[in-house]
Chains A and B, each alone.
Chain A
Amino acid sequence: MKRGISILAVVTALLLSFALYEALIGAPTERTMGDVQRIFYYHVPSAWTAFLLFLINFIASIVYLIRRNPKTDILALVSAEVGVVFCTVVIVTGPIWARPVWGIWWAAGDIRLTTTLVLWLIYISYLVLRRFSTSGQTPVIAAVLAIFGALDVPLVYFSIWFFRTQHPSPVIGGGGSLDPRMAHVLLINWAAFLCLAWLVSWTRYRLEVVKREVEEAQALESLLEGSR
């Protein structure tokens, strides 16, 4: 276990450094936007990683409701937390990219960024629920919330899409085809961020396992002390 994490950590560090080099120097400069476009190599992979993590949370939540295995619940918690971290990156880098390119910090009709914002809000509320719940069955309630969130996403997407048809707005992510060299750098950065996500999630998972064991031991101890 420990060796696995160390190897992953080294691979992650190497990949991230290489990916950073490619993003800042290796990749060709974009014609219309200039060097600012390089934000794309961080913004887009972070979004894909966040969505993947939220998908894992959704599946883990359903599996938990069926099987009620505590390890599955830990997976749900971890994927939600790390997903929020990556999602925050998307929400912060989006406007930083939009401002020099489009002159505005945010476009309400930008479908991808706005959907990501709502997803971020839903998962923040998920984490707050987990933190504030005093029920013994928090995992069940959190899992139900995750399912509601997942049901909501297509509705959010459609509602913003339709809003856009009535209130035309710039597309912050940029559409259109991609130079193959840029696609290459994009994929390298995605691979690097996936490794980072895996590394952080694995670490968080082990931390949570130990934390719960300690809590159980503490509960047991106070129970025994009470009977002395």
Chain B
Amino acid sequence: MNSMHYLYAAYIATWAIHGTYLVILARKYKKVRREMESLRK
């Protein structure tokens, strides 16, 4: 495994971590939206 692979791994891992959190936030947002809709009824 040459050292460039480590460099890419680190950068990809960083964005994977941030991306995962953003996906979690998106899911929370959808859930809150759904609950708001059901309250309106």
Chain A residues with Cβ under 8 A from B39's Cβ? 214, 217-218, 221
State the majority secondary structure of interface residues on B.
helix
Known: A89-B13, A218-B35. A36 touches B18 (CB 8 A): no
Does B7 contact A35, Cβ atoms closer than 8 Å? yes
Q: Nearest 5 pairs between A and B by C-beta? A: A36-B3, A39-B10, A96-B10, A100-B3, A93-B10
Chain A residues within CB distance 8 Å of chain B: 20, 24, 33-36, 38-39, 42-43, 46, 81-82, 85, 88-89, 92-93, 96-97, 99-100, 196, 200, 203-204, 207, 210-211, 214, 217-218, 221
Q: Is the CB of B28 within 8 A of A211?
A: yes
How many inter-chain contacts with C-beta < 8 Å in the A-B complex?
71
Q: Which residue of A lies closest to B9 (CB)?
A: A96
Minimal Cβ-Cβ distance residue in A for B16? A92
Q: Which residues of B contact A92 (CB under 8 A)?
A: 10, 13-14, 17
**Contact at A89–B17, with CB atoms within 8 Å?**
yes
B binding-site residues for A, Cβ under 8 Å: 1, 3-4, 6-7, 9-11, 13-14, 17-18, 21-22, 25, 28-29, 32, 35-36, 39
Q: List 5 A-B contacts (CB under 8 A).
A: A42-B10, A89-B18, A96-B6, A200-B18, A203-B25
> Given known contacts A42-B10, A81-B21, A100-B3, what 20 new A-B pairs fall within 8 Å (CB)?
A36-B4, A36-B7, A38-B7, A39-B6, A39-B7, A43-B10, A82-B21, A85-B18, A88-B17, A92-B10, A93-B10, A96-B9, A96-B13, A99-B6, A200-B21, A204-B25, A211-B28, A211-B32, A214-B35, A218-B35
